[in-house]
Amino acid sequence: MANHKSAAKKAAHDAEARLRNRANRSAMKSAVKKFLAVVASGNKAEATTLLPGTLGVVDKACRKGVLHKNAANRAKSRLTLKVNALA
């Protein structure tokens, strides 16, 4: 428990930020899982249409501070490689 008023305020603020970050991370992971399921099915046309939206969600998570810039770029690169590997 916080001993100072400012520490209590910070704890409350951090709790809100944690929920916001968790929601952003969950949305990103859900979009990536949906995309990977399409890639696993081998449907290149659908994967190609889903790719820009999925990359946008990853970029948004990066902008919000959920992901580091390099981690986001690495994830986007790997997703793009998966689409390009489809025959």
CATH code of the domain in which 57 resides: 1.20.58.110
**Count: domains in the chain:** 1
pLDDT at 2: 87
In this prediction, residues 21-27 reach a mean pLDDT of 97
Angle at 67 between CA 57 and CA 36, to 5 degrees: 45
Domain of residue 53 covers 5-85
Distance CA 65, CA 15 (A): 16
pLDDT at 87: 72
